[in-house]
Structures are given as C-alpha cells and as structure tokens.
Chains A and B, each alone.
Chain A
Amino acid sequence: MIGIKARTGLSEKQLFDFAVFRFQDAERAGYSEYSYWKSVWRNFVKKKSAVVMLGVFFALFIFTFIAAVIGKYDVRSLRIVDSLMFTRPGREFWFGTDNLGRDYWAQVWHATRTSIILAVSVSAGQILLGVVIGMVWGYVRSLDRFFTELYNLIDNIPTIIYMTLIALMIGKSYTIMACAIIGFGWLATARNVRNLVFIYRDREYNLASRCLGTSLWRILTKNILPYLISVIILRLALAIPGTIAYETTLAYLGLMDISTPSLGILLRNARSYFLDYPYLLVIPASIVSVITVTFYLVGNAFSDACDPRNHV
C-alpha cells in the first residue's frame, strides 16, 4: 500500500487543513431559511387575480380623493335645484342627481371614502380584540366559564338595546358608533376563535409543549395561532363589507347621524327611489360590491396562502 503522502509528495500540512468550527453552524437545521411570512407573501403573489384585486382596492381608495378634485361640483357646496331632481347620469352630471337635484358624483365618492375608513378601522379593531380574547378564552380552562358567562351576558342582551341607548344618550356621531360597533363586534370573532382553539388545544404537540413548560403566550402564538390565521384573515376580509351593511341597518333604524353621508346612508335613501331611478342605487351598490369582491378574493387568497401546508 503506497500512502497518499508518497503518491503526491505533499506534506501533512499541505494535505490537511484544520476544519473551522463555528458553534452556530452546528445548531443549524432544516433545509432553508424558511420565513413563514415571506412564504405567505410568495404564495399570495402566485395568485394573480388576488394581487390584481388588492391593487383595485387601493386604486379605489385613492380615487376617492382624486374624484373630489376632478369632479365638477364640490361636495360642500352642492345646491338644491328642484328642476334638476332625479336627472339620469349624463354629460352634465356624471352620476346624475339625487332627489334634491344635487350632484351625485361628489356625494358618492365622499361617502365611499368615509365608509372605507370606517369599515377598515372598525373591522381591524373588532378582529384584534376578538382574537386576543378568543385565544385566551379557549385556552385557559379556568377562564372558560367566566368568559362564557360574560359572552352570554353581552350576547344575549340584544345589541339593539345598547345601540339605541347609546344613540339616544351619548350621541350618534361616527366615532361613537364606531366604538360601539367594535365594542359589540368582537364577540362573534372571539367565539369562533375559541371554538377553534378548543379543537386544537389538546392535540399531542400542545401537551408536549405544556409538559416542557412553554409559556402560555408562546404556545398561543406559535402553536395555535398559525392554525387560526386562515379563518381570522377570512373574517377580517368579510368584516369590512359587513360593517358597511351593518351601517345600512343602523341607518334604517334611525340610529346613525346623517350629517356625514356614508354609503350605508346613500343606500338607505336610494331604496325608496330605486324602482324608478335605479342608478341612485346601482352606483353605490356597485362600489360596495367592488369592495366586497376585492376583500373576498384577497381574503380567500391570503387565507389559502397562510395555511403552512400550502407552502411547500
């Protein structure tokens, strides 16, 4: 047997290098730098329709500002002209006029802006509050009874009582109603989250975590939350058009202050006229539909993308 040394004629030092030892390298496992959120985004982007819809929504929102600028009439200085009432959309009035002869274009875009801001803030608030409370409710056994009773208490007193009382005594302004809607809207999300947490709570991997002494918060966010994300995102996406619809019901019951027009109020007013003048209803309804569609598709796509099993 001839050795390597003899074959190549190199010394030990030339043939061998000390391997560099780094402690962190020894810790590295897995096949790649897997980042959950990066993966979610990558999956989401793969669905072209959803990305387009997201773009549409932002374009819509920005357009509400532009529309005010390019429109012929300023929403603050609309004149009532009886002879022009109920004119159909045409060259002079791009969206026609309402029952007082006022330009509808300006009103609709102003209302859209108000509604979108209200809907997004209310939904975000509702979901955030609902998820946090729902997770704690579903996971911590000793609190289950307390929260269930609290839920029963609040849920079973018809919201209409609260809303009427608040509207009658505190006021009907936007901020108040928004806070009131958040204040009672978190219930549904919390219950949904709680039910799901129930299902996953006693799976073996959670038992293992508990045995290992993992803190509550870490279990909730790292073990359970990922299973809930798809449902949460879908709820968030649907809460936005849902808020607009709820707003319409409140307006119908007379609990909204109409001095700031919103899509809900426009829809309620248009309802009495729409058999004769459908454009008064079709225009705001189409905008609400566009918002609903975008959020539904975006929500669905995001929700699908959030499921880690889709990430491979």
Chain B
Amino acid sequence: MKKILSLALTVCLLLGLGLTAAGADELTEFHTYALISAEVENFNVHYSQGARDSNVMTNLIDPLLTNDPKGALVPCAAKEWYSEDDGQTWTFILNDGMTWVDKDGAYKADVVANDWLTGLEWVLNFAKNDAANTSMPIEMLKGAGEYYEYTKALAESEGVEAAKALGLEKFLETVGISSPDEKTIVFTCVDKLPYFPTVTTYNGFYPVSAGLLEEIGVDGYKAVSWDNLWYSGLYTITSYVHENEKILTANPAYYNAANVKRFDNVVIKMVESPDVAFTLFQTGELDHVSLPQSTLNTIYNSESHEFHDYLTEMRPTKFSYQYHLVYDKKLENGEPDVNWNTAVANEAFRLSWYYGMDNTPVLARNNAINPLSCINYGYTANNVAVTSGGVDYTQLVRDELGLQYTDTYNRYDPEKGAAYKAQAIEELTAKGVTFPVEIDYYILGSNQTAKDTADTLSQVFSDCLGDDYVKLNIKTYVSNMSTEVRNPQLASIYINGWGADFGDPVNFVGQETYGEDNAYYSITYSKINNATDEELIATYKEFTKLVDDARAISDDLDARYAAFAKAEAYMIEHALVIPLYYMVEWQITSVNDYSKVYSAYGIQNYRYMNWETNSDLYTTEDYAGFAAAQ
C-alpha cells in the first residue's frame, strides 16, 4: 500500500515539476497545532509570563520593535529609535496610521505614545498586575522599582482599590519615561544600557490603550478575553474554543498590510500529544509537524517512506544548556558533602570532564539522527549579540577558545582527559578525597524522558571517565525542584538551559559571577559564594573582573562584545561551567524556518509574518540550501 502511494506521489511530483517550472504555491491559510498542556491561559499580555500565551499575543498587538530572521532589531510600531548619550536615554518615534480595533476589525482608537505609558504603569502597579513581569522594567528603568514599592505600600495601607484607581500622575513623576508628543516616547535608564531597545520586545513593554481600560475597567482588563480585547497587530482572534481550536484572521485595519505578507487565516488546533499531531498531519489537517523520536526513526530508516525526503532539521531553540556544577553541596542530613566539594573545586577534576566526556549519546537524546547539530561549545546562546561586521557573538567565543563546529565533536580529547584525570586523582588523594567521587543528579520521578537522559548520562560517565573515578547516582524528587533539591543543596550537578531576556551577553555571563547579588545562577544553583577553596575563589574573582570590565564598556559595542568573549572563554577554559547542547529537533514542514523571525530574546518568534511557504513540503535539500545561505 505504502509503495503504491509513494510511487503515485512520485509520479505526480514529476508531472507537477514538468508542468510548473517553479515549485508549488504559497499557503494562504496556515494550519498549525499546539499541545493542550500549553493552552493559552490569559489574554492579558502584561500579566502572562509564559511562552504559551506570548506565542499567540505577539500576533495580536504590535510592540515598539521586533526582530528579523537573523535576530537583528527592526522597526515595528516604532519607525526609528536612537540614543544620544550612549544609552542613558532612548527615544522612540512611532509610525503613523496605527489603530486599535476589536476582534472584527472595527475601529476603536488610535495608537498613541501614551499607550506605552499606560502599559508600563499597569505592569509596575502591584494591585493591577500582581507583580508579574516586573523584573526587567525594574532592572532597567529609572524609578521603576520605587513606583512598584509605592503601589505595594499603598495597597497594603489603603487597600487594593486605592492602588487600582491610580492614574498616570504619580507614575510620570517617579519613573523615567515620558511622551513629549503623541508619537514620541523617551525612556531614561538606570545606567548606560546599550541593549535597552532589545527589551522592548518583551511583555512588560507592550502597550494598552487607555480607552480600553476606560471601557472595561481595571478588573475587566485583568480578566480580558479575546472577545473584548483591542487589537493593534497583524491578526485578530475570530474564533476561540478553549482547549480545542483557535482561529486568527488577518487584521483588516493593519497599518502596514501592504508591506507584510500574512496568511488570511491561521488555524491553531490543540492536540493531546505529538503522536496525535502526526496522525493529523498524515490526514492533511496540519501544515507542519515536529517529529517524535520513533516516527523519525522509522521514516529515516526506510527509503521508500512517503516522507523520507522531507525530513528537515529545525533551527536551534533559544536555550543554551550546560552542566552547572555545585560548589557547596550538602548531604541529606544537612552536613556539607566534603568529598564532592573538595573534588569539584579542583580544576584538573573539572577539566577531566570537559575534555574526557564524549557527550554524543546525551546529544542523541535530542536528535538521534544527527546529534552533532546539537553541539554547544559556549555558554551564551546564538543570536544574542551580533557585531557590526555581522559576526555572531558565539563565534567570537569560539575563536577565543580555538574550537569550531566541524563534523566531529572536536572538544572531546580522550588523551587530555586521561591526563587531567590522573592529575586530579593525584592532587585529590593528597587532600583526602575518596574515589569514586559520587555525583548526585536529581530528576522528576515521573518523567520518562528525564530518566532516559539520566541513564544515558550515567553510561557516559562510566564509559568515558570510569567507575573507579566517578559514579553518577540518579535520584528523584517528588514534585518541586526548588524545595526538595535546590534549597537543601542536595544535587551535585544540574543540566539547565537559559534563554536570553535581552540582547546582550551580560544576560548570560553575568549570571555566573562571584559576589554579585543579581548573578542568578551563582546565587540559586552553584552557590559559589559559599565556597572555601582559595584557588577556586581566585579563578572566579578573575572571571568576575573580566565580566565587570566588559560591562563597563558602553560606547563601542564591538569592543564590549570582544571583552565579554574573553571573559566567557576564560570561564570555559577553567571549566567553571561545562557547555553541553542546544535543542535541535526534526520536523516535516511547509514553512521555511529561515524566513521566520528568529530571536534569542523577547516573544517575537511566533509572528506569522513574511513567511515563505510551499504547499508541497520542503525537502531535506531545500533546507540544507537555506541553512547554507545564512
């Protein structure tokens, strides 16, 4: 049956190719899917903090800026932006002709600069937004933290209603934001922040019309739904059934409709699992599908399968994963795990992992066909920062390290690994460490994928480093990692990924510094500030100094990135954190991923705009071509 089908398909394809010179047509209606467990929870873009909501909201309201397929910032609601003082203040000028409409496209109000002020006031008001999405405004905008604390205190002393009733007066007094005229917004930052514009792609900096708040009230906007929301973006929602289906229709009043390519309709079906999605794809109800492991394996291994030539690799997701080492681990009885703490503080021990472990089996858990596409040699993710010459920041790091992506895992060097292992054994035995050193790794007890990865990891440790040297113990936690594992500091390593919040390497490298309060990973995971080993502390202090030096450069972005690259390379060369992988999965699709917005930060990646599509599926060669052209 399958053979006949594929034969027929080939004949049709050939005929088709013969009849039409170019490929098939573009799609006018796009059918996609999402997992039911990731259903939208709310339509208030300021309140939601998860990708599930943002992926839809990004199509409904336009932010100041958005990104292009290479990750660079491009105009969206703002047609130009600049800073005249090295990033202390930023000015944005809005486009003309933008309007707010309701779900059917009927006019409601004009989009004005005041909308962004209203939006930000909403975010920073404790009673209105319940402290959601406040971290980035508070971190970057002058006076934002004060305003937030003011509303919080007001809510506590005079009640929530008083805080809800606040308008813009107190806000404009305290916070560094103003709108000199209807089309201009000026932001004042806490410091010289060259990367501030990248933050405007995030939820916290989205607009809301004061007219909407008047129409439905503060409580109404807290509970806003698709049928009373005001839209200013590419699409409006014309149909929505919770956990079943939603339909986005092109916004008839979109100001830039002539210059962007949109679908007439986007139908998003909610499905229970990736397998159900694949069944839907096979019956033609979806235009793309991400392949679960077993299906991928079947299709790949069978030459005659109908989809064999259409397997395409996705672009890496925005997360960059590493082995995070814990420098202050405790045992279950609360006592410090001296054996582990001493071992991990030793640089030779860590370097034996860096050089001695062939992580390919772990990479294969993501991508069994082509594990090496998942290799990650650095700490920062792709497309976070690009030099003026068009070179991605991660390339700078790789140049510093002397590593490049080839078709082997060329960080892996078994001889060096063995040499460091011998050195570590010698140095550590002198300090009284017993071998094998036990590594405690915690996974969620009911998650089969995590268990598979953990089993693979255990085998990698065993094969590459030896059971006489280290031993991985797979332990489980019941439901909540922070209370059961992180707070009591029971784990030896974590495998974690971080996605950028804004477009600057400080967002990554700055999380691992020594002695700084906002270094998130240091405080919550590695607990480096509690370490006692002097060599380790000295190495960290050197690293922190390099980071701080880089951070201080705000006038010349290229120099700034080069300095950060040095700091990051230093961190990796001393194996303070060990890089691991990116997530690259396989799919069958009618969409050219290289024409989509691709940004490492912000919520813009799901905008259905300017997509190149093909009603026949793209083949593996097509995609290889697109990737090479990047």
User: Taking beta carbons and an 8 Å cutoff, which residues of A are in contact with B?
Assistant: 79-80, 82, 85-86, 99-100, 167-172, 251, 254-259, 265, 268-269, 271-273, 275-277
**One of B293, B368, B478 near A168 (C-beta < 8 A):** B478
Q: B447 at the A/B interface (Cβ < 8 Å)?
A: yes
Asked if A255 and B459 sit within 8 Å, CB to CB, the answer is no
- Cβ-based interface call for B438 (8 A): no
Among B290-311, those with CB < 8 Å from A are 292-295, 297-298
Asked if B368 contacts A85 (CB within 8 A), the reply is yes
* Given A86-B294, A258-B447, A265-B448: 11 more A-B contacts, CB < 8 Å: A79-B459, A82-B361, A82-B364, A100-B455, A167-B479, A168-B478, A257-B445, A258-B448, A272-B275, A275-B295, A276-B298
Is there contact, CB below 8 Å, between A277 and B361? Answer: no
Verify if B452 is at the interface (C-beta below 8 Å from A): yes
B interface residue numbers (CB < 8 A to A): 273-275, 279, 292-295, 297-298, 361, 364, 368, 445-448, 451-452, 455-456, 459, 474, 476, 478-480
Chain B residues touching A, majority SS: helix
Q: Decide if B275 touches A258 in the complex (CB within 8 Å).
A: no
Contact sample, A vs B, 19 pairs, CB 8 Å cutoff:
A80-B456, A80-B459, A85-B368, A86-B297, A100-B452, A100-B455, A167-B446, A168-B480, A169-B478, A172-B478, A254-B447, A257-B445, A258-B448, A259-B476, A265-B448, A269-B448, A272-B273, A275-B294, A277-B298
Given contacts A79-B459, A80-B459, A272-B273, contact A256 B446 (CB under 8 A): yes
Name the distance in Å between A154's Cβ and chain B's nearest Cβ.
23
In the bound assembly, the distance between CA atoms of A273 and B456 in angstroms comes to 19
CA gap between A254 and B448 in the complex, in Å: 9
- CB pair A82–B368 under 8 Å, yes or no, is yes
A interface, by DSSP: helix, strand, loop or mixed? loop
Contacts of A269 on B, CB cut-off 8 Å?
448
Contacts of B448 in A (CB 8 A): 258, 265, 268-269
For residue A130, give the distance in angstroms from its CB to the closest CB of chain B.
28
- Specify which of B297, B446, B459, B479 lies most central, judged by the most chain A CB atoms within 10 Å of its CB: B446
Closest approach, in angstroms, between the C-beta of A57 and any C-beta of chain B?
Answer: 29
> What residues of B have a CB within 8 angstroms of the CB of A254 in the complex?
446-447
- Whether A167 touches B478, Cβ cut-off 8 Å, given contacts A80-B455, A100-B456, is yes
B456 to chain A: which residues have CB within 8 Å?
A: 80, 100
Question: Given contacts A171-B478, A257-B476, A276-B298, is CB(A251)–CB(B446) below 8 Å?
Answer: yes
> Once bound together, how far apart are the Cα atoms of A96 and B282, in whole Å?
27
Which of A79, A258, A273 has a CB less than 8 Å from the CB of B446?
A: A258
In the bound complex, what is the Cα–Cα distance between A256 and B294 (angstroms)? 23
Smallest Cβ-Cβ distance to A170: which chain B residue? B478
In the bound complex, do residue B293 and residue A99 qualify as a contact, i.e. CB atoms below 8 Å apart?
Answer: yes
B476–A276 contact, CB under 8 A? no
B273, B368, B456 interface centre (most CB from chain A within 10 Å): B368
Out of A255, A257, A277, which one reaches B294, CB within 8 Å?
A: A277
Q: Given contacts A82-B361, A172-B445, A272-B275, is CB(A258)–CB(B451) below 8 Å?
A: yes
> Given the complex, which residues of A lie within 8 Å of B361, measured CB to CB?
80, 82
Residues of B within 8 A of A80 (CB): 361, 455-456, 459
